[in-house]
Amino acid sequence: MNNPNLKQQVDSRRTFAIISHPDAGKTTITEQLLLFGGAIRQAGTVKGKKTGNFAKSDWMDIEKQRGISVTSSVMQFDFDDKRVNILDTPGHEDFSEDTYRTLMAVDSAVMVIDSAKGIEAQTKKLFQVVKRRGIPIFTFINKLDRDGREPLELLEELEELLAIESYPMNWPIGMGKGLEGIYDIYNERIEFYRPEQYEGERYIKLTNGEIAGDHPLKEKSIYEDVLGEVELVREAGDQFDLEKISRGDQTPVFFGSALTNFGVETFLESFVDLAPKPHAHKTIDEEAISPYEEEFSGFVFKIQANMNPNHRDRIAFVRVCSGTFERGMDVTLGRTGKKMKLSNVTQFMADARENVEEAVAGDIIGVYDTGNYQIGDTIYEGKLKVAYEELPSFTPELFMKVTAKNVMKQKSFHKGIYQLVQEGAIQLYKTYLTDEYIIGAVGQLQFEVFQYRMLNEYNAEVVMTPMGNKIARWINPEQLDERMSSSRNILAKDRFDQPLFLFENQFAMRWFADKYPEVELKSLM
Ligand code: G4P
């Protein structure tokens, strides 16, 4: 479609996800961002789980119970002439492959860390997925209003555990009860936590790195301490390097307290400034399609099924990669060549005052689907005829043996499993010799959705026997010897008949590696 403002609109997009370990403050910070963007009017709106604010919608029961809602999957608002899209990455028990796949649809990520806990397990996993994509990662170290770890120690941990350079954009002046504010290195100012204690001034400009003239803060010992620390990181630490940031090799680090709304606006201002605009996406032919390409294209990165139990509707989440989406437009679904009309499409403008009918590269649209789309599918307008790179598969960690409850219903059981596997809802394996079905997932929720959909869409009741956590590692088929299988590992094959071992634990895997040093054990992403 010919859109004379395409470039300007695309350049204003900032599409990102927040990655964190549960309880680090992702929800709280998201709410603050939405408040700044005018997308919500009161805090507590996003946290549907506790407040029940989202219970109005008629999603499928399981989604209701879990408090998952498509409404909060993508949140869009305007700030400083930029249009910001936040993609939700559910944590806790809602964690699934969709969480990882969502990270394939963003241009940058924000990592929220609890200042008392540092890098936690889930943060690390999500970080690694983002890092592999080589996209910028911004860090927000949260909960400064509580006593936490020393900032220097936190930066060291970042570098050691995540192997990424860090650059402090600001530096805390005290913490917990003694929190005075932040020394804002990037903006050369101090931002006060309790402005009322400093004659109501929220910021004071710095001259040569110091407050000029007299100031009550200068009488406190913490002031000198912070000057010393800032000097130390300036001299011994890494230099701010936008090139490195844009490759994901350096992370700008912000400190703040989401709960008391301190430092969040400063973060947001810098973020929209430094975070990248939508980038070109690679196709399977290694070509890159520019976001400014006039013809619309995009790929499906997530499918949310059964919004309404009376229909089998699903929503396919599409990342727009080029051009302009317009309601009612005709597109081609690349995999099947089928022509589709995009008339029933959700856009995620949380602010109801604006009724936007258009989306451009960088935006996410939710296409109503009656079963046509699969994860990874490309749709395009006109003659563009692109196929975007396949989305990676992620190494599952949880496994279940699965059988049909009613042997008379084998046919619908198999049909259901194969379709759900194709769609990317679950991964399928078989025991190597006996062909028993094993399904794998990265989060428990995937099993529940699988069981529910098997019953409701395929009329197949399934029996699932938990096998617990396993470490899945693929091996070269030529190196396979069936005697390698033992009580500590299960030999299986994936749906492409590639062999893999499901190890009971790290110990079992190390034992195997010691015994068969020549066998390379490979994981997916
Ligand atoms: P999540 O989405 O990452 O899981 O975290 P969420 O925002 O739900 O925050 C987890 C808990 O941490 C919440 O407390 C929240 O109020 C608190 N929290 C978030 N940011 C800050 C902060 O800057 N300072 C302090 N002191 N606490 C913070 P909760 O008691 O578990 O929940 P709630 O009952 O307050 O909602």
Any bridge partners for residue 408, and if so which?
A: none
Beta carbon of 146 within 6 Å of any ligand 1 atom: yes
Q: How far is the CA of 258 from the centre of ligand 1 (A)?
A: 8
**Ligand 1 atom 14: the closest Cα is on which residue?**
23
Asked if domains 5-68+107-274 and 398-522 share a fold, the reply is no
Residue 520 DSSP code: P
What is the predicted ipTM? 0.97
Mutate to test the pocket of ligand 1, among 28, 94, 112, 262 (most ligand atoms within 8 A of CB): 28
Helix (H, G, I), strand (E, B) or coil at 241: coil
**Domain 281-381 coded CATH 3.40.50.300:** yes
What is each CA distance from 149 to 152, 175, 237, 388, 474, in whole angstroms? 8, 9, 19, 43, 39
- Which atom number of ligand 1 is nearest to the Cα of residue 91? 4
For residue range 304-317, list pLDDT tens digits in order: 875 455 666 678 99
Beta carbon of 22 within 6 Å of any ligand 1 atom: yes
For residue range 342-386, list pLDDT tens digits in order: 988 877 655 444 445 679 999 999 898 888 999 999 999 999 999
CATH number for the domain running over 398-522: 3.30.70.3280
pLDDT for the residue numbered 55: 31
Beta carbon of 24 within 6 Å of any ligand 1 atom: yes
Over 60: is that where the pLDDT of 59 sits?
Answer: no
Q: Residues near 414 by Cβ (< 8 Å), separated by ≥ 6?
A: none
Separation between Cα atoms, residue 118 and residue 148, nearest integer Å: 9
Specify the long-range contacts of residues 259-265, CB closer than 8 Å, at least 24 apart: 259/25, 259/28, 259/143, 259/145, 260/145, 260/193, 261/32, 262/144, 262/145, 262/179, 262/182, 262/191, 262/193, 263/140, 263/144, 263/170, 263/182, 263/191, 264/29, 264/32, 264/33, 264/36, 265/36
| Phi, psi values for residue 18, rounded to 5° | -100, 125
| Phi, psi values for residue 105, rounded to 5° | -110, 5
Sign (positive or negative) of CA dihedral 510, 512, 514, 516: negative
Separation between Cα atoms, residue 519 and residue 503, nearest integer Å: 14
- Give the distance between the most distant pair of CA atoms in the chain: 86
Tell the CATH superfamily of the 5-68+107-274 domain.
P-loop containing nucleotide triphosphate hydrolases (3.40.50.300)
For residue range 188-214, list pLDDT tens digits in order: 999 999 999 998 899 999 999 999 999
Alpha carbon of residue 298 to chain centroid: 18
Q: How far is the CA of 268 from the centre of ligand 1 (A)?
A: 19
**Does 207 show up as a binding residue in the annotation?**
no
Any bridge partners for residue 383, and if so which?
A: none
Mutate to test the pocket of ligand 1, among 20, 117, 147, 259 (most ligand atoms within 8 A of CB): 259
Q: Residues near 476 by Cβ (< 8 Å), separated by ≥ 6?
A: 519, 520
Q: How many CB atoms lie within 10 A of CB 424?
A: 19
List the chain domain ranges: 5-68+107-274, 281-381, 398-522
**Does 80 show up as a binding residue in the annotation?**
no
Who has greater pLDDT, 36 or 271? 271
Residue owning tokens 């990317």: 424
Query: What DSSP element (H or E) covers 395?
Result: none
